[in-house]
Structures are given as structure tokens and as C-alpha cells.
């Protein structure tokens, strides 16, 4: 099915998720993606750490880890003279 997780500005989605209350993790499988603002990561498996506000992305056969990270403040002063 379709799974969606929202924690503040961080969002995760996948075809399947496994929640482990003891470790405070959610393992996202089947085309997982985690985004925060305009930053995104995808891979074969993403482990979503609920209490640490971090995610660990694992690639695998036929599935690379991909990340799009946009620097904070990018484009703010583009074209302006100092």
C-alpha cells in the first residue's frame, strides 16, 4: 500500500513500512523517499529515526541512493552587487 509519514517538516513515503517501537525507527521499503523542504533522498531502504530526526538510506542491486540537497539561502543574493 501507500505509506506516508509526517514529522514536522520531514516527510517520508513508501509502498511499505515497518514500525519498531523499541528502536524508534520506521523502515521504509518499496520506492521509499524522505524529504525535508526541497531536499530529498531515495534508495532501496530508508530507516527513519523518529527520535533523532535523521534517516539512513541504503542502496541495493538495481537501486542507487540518490540525494538532492539544496544549500540554505541559495539564490538569495543572485545578481545583486555587493
Ramachandran sector of residue 37 (left: φ over 0; alpha: ψ -120 to 50; beta: rest): left
Which residues, 6+ apart, have CB-to-CB distance to 22 below 8 Å?
Answer: none
pLDDT at residue 37, as a whole number: 87
Q: How far lies 48's CA from each of 1, 6, 43, 75, 79, in Å?
A: 18, 11, 12, 30, 39
Q: Between 82 and 27, whose confidence is greater? A: 27
- Per the structure block, which three cell numbers stand in for 44? 532501496
- Per the structure block, which three cell numbers stand in for 35? 524529504
Query: What would the pLDDT profile of 29-52 be if each residue is shown by its tens digit?
Result: 999 999 998 899 999 999 989 888
**Does 81 score more than 60 pLDDT?**
no
* pTM of this structure: 0.77
The predicted model gives 49-58 an average pLDDT of: 88
Amino acid at each position: 500500500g501507500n505509506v506516508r509519514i509526517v514529522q514536522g517538516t520531514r516527510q517520508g513515503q513508501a509502498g511499505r513500512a515497518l514500525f519498531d517501537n523499541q528502536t524508534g525507527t520506521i523502515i521504509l521499503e518499496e520506492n521509499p523517499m524522505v524529504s525535508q523542504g526541497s531536499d530529498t533522498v531515495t534508495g532501496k531502504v530508508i530507516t527513519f529515526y523518529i527520535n533523532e530526526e535523521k534517516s539512513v538510506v541504503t542502496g541495493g542491486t538495481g537501486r542507487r541512493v540518490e540525494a538532492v540537497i539544496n544549500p540554505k539561502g541559495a539564490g538569495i543574493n543572485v545578481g545583486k552587487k555587493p
